[in-house]
């Protein structure tokens, strides 16, 4: 591994000491309401950027976003000129962001809601995400992506010209873009990064199969399968997509993936994306912790820190909204992703 990549891993490990520990997050979960949560969060000092006024839940979300942005900028400054882990992580976040932004525009969701949980990348920095979140339609989101020269823009453009864009086709296109960029990097890297990329592709394909199976769609499933996964073969994907409804499709996928690391995620795949993201993040952090112990100079330690940054952002947002709605502390703790 190049010396500068080793330096980047060391920098990431140092940064991880500034992230909130599980114990701290569980203490935050015990606050009675949002004002108490805000006061306790503010006492953490530099761990979270200043919240500002008015100190409502959206101000907390913005502070959490700035914190993640600060950590990621630090790591990007240390990046080797050759493509690596940070590029794969950025491609993963770009896919998450564009899926949320395009669906938010199609549904007319408030701009603040569209930005919930999104992390900036070199291709989509915070200012670009904010601009995209204010676009009134998917076509205008893609128009802005074109101005930003984002690599997914040309393939997305014909999919968003109708008044009701085909969001399934958008999802498949975003997964394809991620797979192409991330696989090129992972193929020249180590097992930890290859497993991360292939798992994300497998999960994306499983979601697509379930979406096709759950509704009346005139679609040839073979045209929606994205290569690059490890466990879900094209034949199983086509069988699940053609199952006619979600439950038989889920059973087909369960059989195909029974001996894979994805087996534990399958009950969640049939649910919404937020639950699946959380389940994947939890499982990935557990696997990467083991991989980092076995090979401290692999990509696993750096990838784990990147996912811990995502986990912290997700957890603080979850706790803030839990304080708003008065969710029981025990349930808030159960929803945490940051490991012990």
Kindly write down the DSSP assignment for every residue of 236-253, as one continuous string: HHHHHHTSSSHHHHHHHH
Residues 244 and 334 in one domain: no
How many domains does the chain divide into?
3
For residue 174, is it within any domain?
Answer: no
For residue 94, is it within any domain?
Answer: yes
For residue 317, is it within any domain?
Answer: yes
Residues 106 and 150 in one domain: yes
DSSP annotation of 330 reads: H
The per-residue pLDDT for range 151-193, each reduced to its tens digit, is 999 999 999 998 889 999 999 999 999 999 999 999 988 999 9
Q: How many CB atoms lie within 10 A of CB 40?
A: 16
For residue 198, is it within any domain?
Answer: yes
CATH number, position 308: 1.10.132.50
Residues 61 and 142 in one domain: no
DSSP annotation of 31 reads: -
**Dist CA 46 CA 129 (whole Å):** 24
Q: Which of 163, 180, 220 is nearest to 88 (CA)?
A: 180
**Dist CA 288 CA 247 (whole Å):** 31
Q: What is the pLDDT of residue 269?
A: 65
Region 131-148 average pLDDT: 97
For residue 128, is it within any domain?
Answer: yes
Region 110-117 average pLDDT: 89
- Residue 326: give the domain boundaries: 1-82+299-340
Q: What is the pLDDT of residue 134?
A: 96
Who's near 24: CB < 8 A, 6+ residues apart?
Answer: 44, 47
Number of separate helices (H) and strands (E) present in the chain: 17, 0
Q: What is the pLDDT of residue 231?
A: 95
Q: How confident is the model at residue 84 (pLDDT cuts 50, 70, 90)?
A: confident
For residue 35, is it within any domain?
Answer: yes
Q: How confident is the model at residue 80 (pLDDT cuts 50, 70, 90)?
A: low
Residues 74 and 93 in one domain: no
CATH number, position 264: 1.20.1690.10
**What is the token pair recorded at 220?**
């040839």
Instruction: Give the pTM.
Output: 0.92
Residue 319 predicted with pLDDT over 90? yes
Residues 2 and 73 in one domain: yes
Q: How confident is the model at residue 79 (pLDDT cuts 50, 70, 90)?
A: confident
């Amino acid at each position: 591994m190049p010396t500068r990549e080793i330096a980047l891993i060391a920098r990431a490990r140092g940064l991880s000491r500034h992230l909130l520990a599980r114990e701290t997050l569980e203490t935050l979960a015990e606050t009675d309401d949002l004002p108490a949560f805000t006061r306790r969060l503010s006492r953490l000092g530099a761990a979270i950027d200043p919240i500002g006024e008015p100190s409502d839940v959206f101000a907390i979300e913005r502070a959490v976003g700035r914190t993640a942005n600060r950590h990621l900028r630090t790591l990007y400054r240390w990046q080797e000129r050759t493509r690596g882990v940070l590029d794969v992580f950025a491609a993963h976040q770009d896919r998450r962001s564009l899926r949320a932004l395009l669906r938010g525009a199609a549904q007319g969701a408030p701009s603040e809601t569209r930005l919930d949980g999104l992390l900036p990348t070199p291709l989509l920095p915070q200012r670009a995400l904010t601009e995209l979140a204010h676009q009134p339609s998917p076509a205008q989101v893609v128009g802005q992506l074109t101005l930003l020269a984002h690599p997914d823009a040309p393939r997305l453009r014909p999919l968003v010209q109708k008044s009701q864009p085909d969001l399934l086709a958008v999802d498949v296109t975003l997964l394809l873009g991620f797979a192409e960029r991330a696989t090129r990097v992972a193929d020249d890297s180590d097992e930890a990064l290859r497993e991360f990329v292939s798992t994300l592709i497998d999960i994306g394909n499983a979601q697509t199969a379930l979406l096709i199976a759950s509704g009346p769609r005139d679609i040839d499933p073979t045209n929606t399968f994205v290569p690059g996964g490890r466990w879900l073969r094209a034949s199983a994907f086509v069988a699940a997509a053609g199952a006619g409804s979600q439950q038989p499709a889920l059973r087909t996928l369960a059989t195909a993936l029974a001996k894979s690391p994805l087996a534990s995620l399958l009950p969640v795949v049939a649910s919404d994306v937020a639950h699946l993201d959380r389940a994947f993040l939890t499982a990935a952090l557990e696997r990467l912790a083991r991989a980092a112990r076995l090979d401290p100079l692999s990509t696993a330690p750096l990838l784990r820190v990147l996912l811990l940054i995502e986990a912290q952002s997700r957890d603080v947002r979850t706790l803030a909204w839990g304080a708003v709605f008065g969710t029981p502390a025990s349930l808030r703790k159960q929803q945490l992703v940051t490991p012990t």
